[in-house]
Amino acid sequence: MSAANLPYASTRDGAALQTPKPTPTPTEAALPVSEQVDRIAHRIKTWRTAAGMSLQVLANRSDVSPSTIHKIENGQTVPTIAVLLKLAEGLGRRPTELLEDADGESGAVLTPAGTGAQLVTGRGLHIEWLVGEAFAPEVELWRITHPEAFSFGGERIKHLSGDVVLMVETGGLEVRVANDVFELGPGDTIHFKGTQPHSWRNTCEGPTTALLLGNVQAGARSGLVARMRRLRCAAKPGEPGEQTSASETPTAS
């Protein structure tokens, strides 16, 4: 056997030194079962929406009820092998595609217009969640529609830290960051640190719509996703939006 094939190398004093085994890369290591289930659910939903199928259409093709498909896609139930086989057939996919590694896939997550979770607070604030659930992103994006004369924020916004970007789409906002005051109109953007005291109010007659982009605090997103899933599960299958009280909204503190 040549020295190159020996599992040990020698130091200068002749002592045997075992060559360490290579550490498996993340792609080689097996994913936790929960992540594999989430990936299957994401693929089913992605393939269905990409094909332009409603829950009812896929239900008719696969002989699986719309409510069951809705729960699978939103992580509320773990499908059986029989159900997965039916869904794969209804989607025109090989069953193995649900389980194989995502080599060659972009990892991009499409959220079609109007399909994000939508919350309406008791004060009439409408919040649409624009970032999907397939993986844990480093930022969150919301579209917020403020009723006339609505004030938002205060000391800070719950769950957000680091950089915050606010852009007005329609209407106008008066934004306060620490001791500074800014007037924003359509197309205007303000960027500040979420750790600073901040608030804003609608200065227009009628509603104002703005996009809010921010970093989520470590450990906060899992609870936020769980809350969104509970709200989705309570809604009728196929309905994109839900309502909640002001105390449940994920952004207002």
Pair 127, 82 in one domain: no
Q: What is the pLDDT of residue 60?
A: 93
Confidence of residue 96 (pLDDT cuts 50, 70, 90): confident
Q: What is the pTM of this model?
A: 0.53
Pair 145, 232 in one domain: yes
Where among 51, 66, 98 does a domain terminate?
98
Where among 98, 133, 154 does a domain terminate?
98
Task: Give the C-alpha separation, 160 to 197, whole Å.
Answer: 12
Q: What is the pLDDT of residue 6?
A: 43
Residue with tokens 């994913």: 31
Three-state SS at 196: coil
Domains: count for the chain = 2
- For residue 67, CA distances in Å to 80, 92, 238 come to 15, 20, 8
Let me know if residue 229 belongs to a domain.
Answer: yes
What pLDDT digit, counting tens, does each position of 26-57 carry?
443 455 777 788 888 888 988 888 888 899 99
Confidence of residue 102 (pLDDT cuts 50, 70, 90): low
Q: What is the pLDDT of residue 211?
A: 96
Listed residue (121, 120, 119) closest to 130, CA to CA? 119
Higher pLDDT, 14 or 189: 189
Q: What is the pLDDT of residue 82?
A: 92
Let me know if residue 107 belongs to a domain.
Answer: no
Pair 170, 243 in one domain: yes
Let me know if residue 14 belongs to a domain.
Answer: no
Q: Which residues contact 79 (CB under 8 A, 6 or more apart)?
A: 40, 68, 72, 87
Average pLDDT of the segment spanning 121-129:
82
Q: What is the pLDDT of residue 132?
A: 62
Neighbouring CB atoms inside 10 A of 31's CB total: 13
| Vertex 57 angle, CA 53 and 62, to 5° | 110
Pair 165, 230 in one domain: yes
Q: What is the pLDDT of residue 252?
A: 38
Q: How many residues does the chain have?
A: 253
Listed residue (68, 87, 64) closest to 78, CA to CA? 68
Beta strands in the chain (DSSP E): 8-10, 16-18, 118-120, 126-129, 139-146, 151-154, 160-170, 173-177, 180-184, 189-193, 198-202, 208-216
Pair 92, 143 in one domain: no
Mean predicted lDDT score pLDDT of the chain: 74
What pLDDT digit, counting tens, does each position of 196-241 carry?
888 899 999 999 999 999 876 655 655 555 565 555 545 444 444 4
Confidence of residue 145 (pLDDT cuts 50, 70, 90): very high
Let me know if residue 159 belongs to a domain.
Answer: yes
Pair 123, 226 in one domain: yes
Listed residue (49, 242, 43) closest to 135, CA to CA? 43
Neighbouring CB atoms inside 10 A of 144's CB total: 23
253 has a pLDDT exceeding 50: no
Confidence of residue 9 (pLDDT cuts 50, 70, 90): very low
3-state helix, strand, coil in the chain (%, to 5): 30, 25, 45
List the domain range (segments joined by +) for residue 142.
118-248
Let me know if residue 77 belongs to a domain.
Answer: yes
